[in-house]
Chain A
Amino acid sequence: MALLELDRLTRHFELSPSFIGRHILRKPNSHIKAVEQLSVSLNEGEILGIAGESGCGKSTTCTMLSGLLAPSGGDIRFKGQSILDLNAQEMKEYRRSVQMIFQDPYESLNPRFRILDIVAEGPRALALWDEEEIIQRSLSMLSSVGLPPQKYAERFPHELSGGERQRVGIASALVMEPEVIIADEPLSMLDVSIRAGILDLMRNMQENRGFASIYVSHDLSILGNVADRLLVMYLGQAMEIGPAQEVIRNPKHPYTKALISAVAMPDPTKRRDPPNIRGELSQPIDPPPGCRFAPRCPYADESCNDVFVEMNMDDVTSHQVACHRLKDIFND
């Protein structure tokens, strides 16, 4: 059963032009169409990776899923129920079940809170248990993430290293026993030699506690290593989805192909061909209808500006591509 469903999720931001633009030139507002009709589901116990470059909408999607930002269109359903119209009590239940781990370990912890308070904050805010039990669970959670409470509970964030802070962030999310964890680039600001440790921690936690997770990253190598399924986004649209290792070994969408061929490899004997892609990454401001990758796609034709294929995202095993010209491309 799908735990979390995104149904044509859409988010637009309005940009008003400058004062002169607005009042004298009478320019209309432009729209940043950050996420466009995204439909995908997350099943119990699975890790869904979302890959893409800046501006692809992955972070905006995370923010919407954690309830911090309302969608402009579409729906988000948790266990079949939409989260868009929840009352305060139901929202609290949702918050407990769907938690988020943030990217920046230096900014995501309140500098005036002690570590123990940071971990205990969620349960306290939602009044999940009584105070004694909250402290008990928080202390043991600190232990589970590799931060012995005797040493860490009373410290302040600035006394901890980046890796340790990220562990605190993980502890504070997991202490509430959520069913879904949304991780937004949790490793990108950490030193490389400790990333594996944090990744291991997250994996162990997931195996032991059985939550599902959505893992957002721009680092395809990590995603290939960690995720069950992989979704590739570009400028707010879903381009390709499928089993993670399959998508990386056999990418079908021209964008995914370019992305994978561009990843640097720690092997000096391998020389890569330049990726097959034109132009520069832009922003999804007032994009034309149709496939947003068309301006950069080496195989695009006119039809690509009008048509955008919606993938059937419910079938977890299938490898799907949002491109109506695939057959033609392979025949070229």
Chain B
Amino acid sequence: MSDTFIVIGAKAIKRGFVEHYEIINSNVLSRFGFWVIVFFTLVAIFAPLIAPYDPWEMTYDSDGNFAALRPPSWEFPLGTTHLGYDLFSQLILATRTTLLIGIVSGFISIFIGANVGLIAGYYGGKIDEVLMRITDVLYGMPFLPFIIVLIALFGRELEFIILAIVLIIWRTSARVIRAQAMSIKQRQFIQMAKARGASDLRIIYRHILPNVLPLLLLYASFNIAWSIITEASASFLGFGDGETISWGGMLYELWLSGKTRVAWWWFASPSICIILLVTSLVFVSRAYEEVANPRLRRR
């Protein structure tokens, strides 16, 4: 009997993978986006191994000259900053930070958003009202001043940056998931689950959640994308994490140096990376969106 169980479970997992594979492969853009994400993830994981220099190391070129503000060359593929820092190394290590903040914020925000949405959508009434009031308040909050205040109060620590991003971003997914939970709640298979004796929590997490999953995954990727942009924006304005470098932070350094007009290679690489990664996330999200939108029910 347990063998049957294991076989059934294994087949289900394999099915899960096949399903996701099919979704991502469904069109050229999402396939492209997927591989870009994989690429950046690998770079982030192996960053210290790949980066030739330390990001704040003053470098010297092969002639022994101080390599300040060099355009891209064989020695310094992405060029250097005005202080001689290798941009290639900076970019690679910044990938790690950016991705880390993006993914962590993305996941935390979808976790909060999904739970709030499910609970508000299912219970309705007072619970829904309270939760939605909280969401509304946060909708009204403008993100930059909010982050500025938070960081001014608590300092430029990684945790606070993540916190600030999460607090802003979870609201949209909460609203959307709430709406879907409300509509699923009406469907007959939920009635059937209740008739079979399922408790409220069981219905929310065992019955409704799997049906909300496509939408949830969609918003998970969106949230990661928004987190990355938010972090880049905050860093660019000087409110990023003080200790490590991120793509936005690189742009901030560029701006501080006053060399924006001169060193095109300096703003090119981080900007392109931000655009590329976020766009890729959006492409993949769109592939999930097709699944999340209830189309003709298959009979």
Residues of A within 8 A of B (CB): 66-68, 92, 95-96, 99-100, 102, 104, 106-114, 116, 121-122, 125-126, 131-132, 135-136, 139, 153-154, 158, 162, 169, 172-173, 176
In the complex with contacts A106-B297, A110-B211, A125-B202, A116-B8 CB distance below 8 A: yes
Docked CA distance A137–B282 (Å): 46
Q: Tell me whether A107 and B8 are in contact (CB under 8 A).
A: no
Residues of B within 8 A of A (CB): 1-2, 4-5, 8, 11-12, 187-189, 191-199, 202, 207, 210-211, 213, 297-299
Q: How far is the CB of A133 from chain B (nearest CB, A)?
A: 9
B210: chain A residues at CB < 8 Å are 110, 112-113
Q: Which of A106, A125, A132 lies in contact with B193, CB distance below 8 A?
A: A125
In the complex with contacts A104-B188, A112-B213, A135-B4, A95-B12 CB distance below 8 A: no
Q: How far is the CB of A205 from chain B (nearest CB, A)?
A: 17
Q: Tell me whether A125 and B187 are in contact (CB under 8 A).
A: no
Q: Tell me whether B197 and A125 are in contact (CB under 8 A).
A: yes
A-B contact pairs, 26 of them (CB 8 A): A67-B195, A68-B194, A92-B197, A95-B197, A99-B196, A104-B188, A107-B188, A109-B189, A110-B189, A110-B210, A111-B189, A111-B211, A112-B210, A112-B213, A114-B12, A121-B193, A122-B196, A122-B197, A126-B196, A126-B197, A131-B5, A132-B2, A153-B8, A154-B12, A158-B298, A158-B299
Q: Which of A68, A92, A111 lies in contact with B191, CB distance below 8 A?
A: A68
B8: chain A residues at CB < 8 Å are 114, 116, 153-154
Q: How far is the CB of A263 from chain B (nearest CB, A)?
A: 28
**A128 to chain B: closest residue by CB:** B197
Docked CA distance A169–B192 (Å): 9
B189: chain A residues at CB < 8 Å are 107-111
Docked CA distance A277–B276 (Å): 73
Q: Which of B5, B195, B297 lies in contact with A135, CB distance below 8 A?
A: B5
**B199 to chain A: closest residue by CB:** A125
Docked CA distance A67–B194 (Å): 9
Q: How far is the CB of A188 from chain B (nearest CB, A)?
A: 14
Q: Could you list 6 further interchain pairs (A-B, Cβ under 8 angstroms) beyond the known A107-B189, A126-B197, A135-B4? A: A100-B195, A106-B299, A112-B211, A116-B8, A121-B196, A172-B196
A116: chain B residues at CB < 8 Å are 8
Q: Tell me whether A125 and B195 are in contact (CB under 8 A).
A: no
In the complex with contacts A108-B188, A110-B210, A158-B298, A95-B5 CB distance below 8 A: no
B187: chain A residues at CB < 8 Å are 107
B198: chain A residues at CB < 8 Å are 121, 125
A108: chain B residues at CB < 8 Å are 188-189, 191-192
Q: Which 7 A-B pairs have the closest CB atoms?
A: A122-B196, A112-B210, A95-B197, A125-B198, A107-B188, A158-B298, A126-B197
In the complex with contacts A108-B192, A112-B210, A132-B1 CB distance below 8 A: yes
A158: chain B residues at CB < 8 Å are 297-299
Docked CA distance A173–B191 (Å): 13
Q: Which of B2, B11, B207 lies in contact with A110, CB distance below 8 A?
A: B207
**B184 to chain A: closest residue by CB:** A110
Q: Tell me whether B195 and A99 are in contact (CB under 8 A).
A: yes
Docked CA distance A126–B210 (Å): 20
Docked CA distance A112–B205 (Å): 12
Q: Tell me whether A154 and B11 are in contact (CB under 8 A).
A: yes
Q: How far is the CB of B171 from chain A (nearest CB, A)?
A: 26
Docked CA distance A94–B1 (Å): 30
Docked CA distance A116–B195 (Å): 18
Docked CA distance A90–B129 (Å): 31
Docked CA distance A125–B207 (Å): 11
Docked CA distance A322–B4 (Å): 56
Docked CA distance A96–B193 (Å): 12
Docked CA distance A110–B2 (Å): 24
Docked CA distance A249–B54 (Å): 95
Q: How far is the CB of A109 from chain B (nearest CB, A)?
A: 6
Q: How far is the CB of A175 from chain B (nearest CB, A)?
A: 9
Docked CA distance A125–B200 (Å): 10
Q: Tell me whether A68 and B195 are in contact (CB under 8 A).
A: yes
Q: Which of B4, B11, B195, B297 lies in contact with A66, CB distance below 8 A?
A: B195
Docked CA distance A102–B18 (Å): 32
A100: chain B residues at CB < 8 Å are 192, 195
B197: chain A residues at CB < 8 Å are 92, 95-96, 122, 125-126
B2: chain A residues at CB < 8 Å are 132
A106: chain B residues at CB < 8 Å are 297, 299
B12: chain A residues at CB < 8 Å are 114, 154
A132: chain B residues at CB < 8 Å are 1-2, 5
Docked CA distance A279–B19 (Å): 55
**A139 to chain B: closest residue by CB:** B4
Docked CA distance A113–B209 (Å): 11
Q: How far is the CB of B292 from chain A (nearest CB, A)?
A: 13
Q: How far is the CB of B29 from chain A (nearest CB, A)?
A: 27
Q: How far is the CB of B189 from chain A (nearest CB, A)?
A: 4
Q: Tell me whether B193 and A110 are in contact (CB under 8 A).
A: yes
A110: chain B residues at CB < 8 Å are 189, 193, 207, 210-211
Docked CA distance A118–B204 (Å): 16
**A65 to chain B: closest residue by CB:** B195
A136: chain B residues at CB < 8 Å are 1
Docked CA distance A123–B8 (Å): 19
**B212 to chain A: closest residue by CB:** A112
